[in-house]
């Protein structure tokens, strides 16, 4: 188990080359927060972070700010934080396995399976705000299992569940829809004296969502901006068409066969061409569903897990992008959870019967085969993501800042600003040397200018380029 954890955070395949602008934005906001409790735009302790017209969720940014307060800002610290929070989610699944089975084998196997799952491993190699979501999902699962067993008062048992479900809403944009769906699904726990607990949980949840509701009404359209930019719904679509397209999208995104063959075609998280989830774990999850309901017929915990899994593709299905793995992160977490009773069943049977040992060995061999396929595919194609992750931008900035003078950036060129500000803080360059041009004024003649979206010509002579980014020397007034 220790080896699996070390592999996950330190020994496994490297992260994508470069540090894409979204990661730089999250990291720079975390840095400014760690220095003076303000974000990049000067907001004090903001609930959401404005980034390239989108609103980044807060939890990971605040966690990263706490890390930067100790370590200082760096790409290495940001990525280490990302891998650590995903590993913590997997370890919580291990804790859940222990509480459910009291089996060392099942606990260790759950953790090892989680650390080897590409969907989670690759997520831990990117410093996005979404990276925190599996940890919140794991907290929901552990707190719900504890509430099921605990003999404490209704409110005490409701508090961690309500807070964890609310935290899911604050972890990522998709969580803002998934969180109330999962909270409503708690009604499957009703009965057998749990009504007071259910109402208390809902009360904690509603109170925890008040800050988000307040933000929504004070910043009209902010929290729905992501939905508006990604939804498949367009003006003039009939309700029947919307429902039909939603169901079609749901079926495609929930096609587990796709995830054990290829996964997300976008290379921001997954290196496409190999499984993002393993057939062996899917098999164990299927066996686990049968085992859980046969053994614990009155246990509504497993009923909620199945309902939560059925609801999980809904946030992705309302968008126009299929197989978007960030929006479907609950799927691997819940399938790994469902695999726990499957592992327990196989292990108990294997202790008695040799044929079952061969079956368990075959499942392990299948997992090892797909793991090897994924490793080979990752090693082969990860380097090809250098352009996507903007690996060459720091080289441009090293040249731009090399003469000790300020580097000028147009105020509307937000991608260039973010990269320059992050590069400056990680290289000990004073903030004053990142000069944001106000209004229509231009940089002084002879100055260095850096950009992407806003062209410099005809007042500049470009010196170097990388993809859409460039550095130039100002040759005449703009």
Are 349 and 442 members of one domain?
no
Note whether 158 and 144 are within 8 A (CB).
Answer: no
Are 411 and 367 members of one domain?
no
Region 16-33 average pLDDT: 96
Q: Could you tell me if residue 64 is inside a domain? A: yes
Of 354, 379, 404, the one marking the end of a domain is 379
Q: Could you tell me if residue 208 is inside a domain? A: yes
Predicted confidence band of residue 21 (pLDDT cuts 50, 70, 90): very high
Predicted confidence at residue 103, as pLDDT, reads 93
Predicted confidence band of residue 289 (pLDDT cuts 50, 70, 90): very high
Average pLDDT over the chain reads 91
313: exposed, middle or buried (Cβ count in 10 Å: 0-12, 13-18, 19+): buried
Are 224 and 370 members of one domain?
yes
Are 361 and 470 members of one domain?
no
Predicted confidence band of residue 349 (pLDDT cuts 50, 70, 90): confident
Are 187 and 76 members of one domain?
yes
Strand partners, 319: 231
Predicted confidence band of residue 275 (pLDDT cuts 50, 70, 90): very high
Model confidence at 297: pLDDT above 70: no
Q: Could you tell me if residue 384 is inside a domain? A: no
pLDDT in tens, 88-99: 999 999 999 999
Predicted confidence at residue 218, as pLDDT, reads 86
How big is the chain by its Cα radius of gyration, in Å? 24
* Cα 11 to Cα 97: distance, rounded to the nearest angstrom: 25
Q: Which residue has the higher pLDDT, 299 or 440?
A: 299
Region 182-207 average pLDDT: 90
* Cα 94 to Cα 39: distance, rounded to the nearest angstrom: 36
Are 169 and 264 members of one domain?
yes
Of 153-157, 347-351, 407-411, minimum mean pLDDT range: 347-351
Q: Could you tell me if residue 125 is inside a domain? A: yes
User: What domain count does the chain have?
Assistant: 2
Are 358 and 411 members of one domain?
no
Q: Which residue has the higher pLDDT, 404 or 459?
A: 404
Which among 266, 361, 396 has a CA at the least distance from the CA of 323?
266
Q: Could you tell me if residue 387 is inside a domain? A: no
Predicted confidence at residue 159, as pLDDT, reads 96
Predicted confidence at residue 191, as pLDDT, reads 66
Are 259 and 138 members of one domain?
yes
Q: Which residue has the tokens 């200082």?
A: 72
Q: Could you tell me if residue 62 is inside a domain? A: yes
Q: Is 351 helix (H, G, I), strand (E, B) or coil?
A: coil
Predicted confidence at residue 1, as pLDDT, reads 67
pLDDT in tens, 41-73: 888 999 999 887 788 899 999 999 999 999 999
Question: In Å, how far are 102, 116, 325, 386, 391 from 111, measured between CA atoms?
Answer: 14, 9, 21, 31, 32
Which among 467, 340, 457 has a CA at the least distance from the CA of 415?
467
Q: What percent of the chain has pLDDT over 90?
A: 71
Q: Could you tell me if residue 386 is inside a domain? A: no
Are 80 and 24 members of one domain?
yes
Region 106-113 average pLDDT: 95
Of 379, 413, 447, the one marking the end of a domain is 379
Q: What percent of the chain has pLDDT over 70?
A: 98
Are 351 and 202 members of one domain?
yes
Tell me the pTM. Answer: 0.95
Predicted confidence band of residue 428 (pLDDT cuts 50, 70, 90): very high
Containing structural domain, residue 419:
393-474
The DSSP result for 178-202, as a single string, is: HHHHHHHHGGGG-STT-HHHHHHHH
Are 157 and 243 members of one domain?
yes
Of 352, 379, 406, the one marking the end of a domain is 379
Are 266 and 403 members of one domain?
no
Q: Could you tell me if residue 76 is inside a domain? A: yes
pLDDT in tens, 166-194: 999 999 988 999 999 999 999 988 766 78
Of 43-52, 127-136, 382-391, 404-413, minimum mean pLDDT range: 43-52
């Amino acid at each position: 188990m220790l080896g699996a954890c070390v592999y996950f955070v330190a020994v496994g395949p490297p992260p994508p080359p470069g540090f894409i602008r979204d990661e730089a934005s999250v990291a720079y906001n975390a840095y400014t927060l760690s220095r003076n409790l303000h974000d990049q735009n000067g907001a004090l302790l903001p609930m959401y972070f404005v980034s390239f017209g989108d609103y980044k969720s807060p939890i990971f940014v605040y966690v990263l700010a706490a890390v930067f307060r100790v370590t200082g800002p760096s790409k290495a610290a940001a990525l280490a934080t990302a891998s650590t929070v995903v590993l913590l989610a997997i370890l919580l699944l291990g804790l859940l396995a222990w509480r459910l089975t009291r089996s060392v084998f099942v606990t260790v196997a759950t953790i090892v399976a989680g650390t080897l799952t590409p969907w989670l491993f690759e997520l831990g190699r990117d410093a996005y705000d979404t990276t925190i979501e599996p940890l919140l999902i794991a907290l929901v699962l552990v707190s719900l299992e504890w509430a099921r067993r605990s003999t404490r008062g209704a409110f005490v048992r409701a508090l961690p569940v309500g807070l964890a479900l609310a935290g899911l809403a604050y972890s990522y944009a998709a969580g803002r829809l998934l969180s109330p769906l999962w909270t409503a699904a708690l009604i499957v726990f009703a009965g057998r004296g749990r009504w007071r607990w259910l109402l208390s949980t809902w009360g904690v949840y509603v109170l925890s969502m008040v800050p988000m509701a307040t933000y929504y009404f004070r910043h009209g359209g902010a929290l729905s901006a992501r939905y508006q930019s990604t939804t498949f719904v367009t003006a003039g679509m009939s309700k029947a068409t919307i429902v039909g397209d939603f169901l079609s999208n749901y079926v495609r995104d929930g096609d587990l066969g796709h995830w054990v063959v290829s996964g997300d075609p976008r290379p921001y998280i997954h290196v496409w061409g190999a499984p993002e989830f393993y057939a062996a774990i899917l098999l164990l999850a299927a066996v686990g569903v049968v085992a859980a309901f046969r053994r614990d017929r009155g246990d509504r915990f497993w009923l909620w897990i199945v309902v939560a899994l059925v609801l999980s593709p809904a946030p992705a299905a309302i968008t126009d992008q299929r197989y978007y793995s960030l929006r479907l992160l609950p799927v691997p977490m819940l399938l790994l959870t469902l695999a726990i009773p499957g592992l327990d069943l196989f292990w108990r049977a294997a202790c008695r019967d040799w044929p079952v040992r061969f079956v368990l060995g075959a499942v392990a061999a299948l997992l090892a085969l797909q793991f090897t396929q994924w490793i080979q595919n990752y090693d082969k194609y990860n380097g090809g993501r250098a352009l996507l992750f903007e690996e060459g931008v720091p080289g441009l900035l090293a040249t731009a800042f090399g003469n000790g003078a300020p580097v000028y950036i147009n105020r509307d060129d937000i991608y260039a600003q973010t990269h320059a500000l992050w590069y400056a803080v990680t290289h000990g360059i004073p903030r004053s040397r990142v000069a944001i041009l106000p209004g229509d004024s231009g940089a002084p003649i002879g100055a260095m200018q850096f950009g992407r979206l806003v062209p410099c010509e005809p007042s500049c002579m470009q010196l170097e380029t990388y993809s859409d980014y460039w550095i130039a020397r100002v040759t005449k007034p703009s």
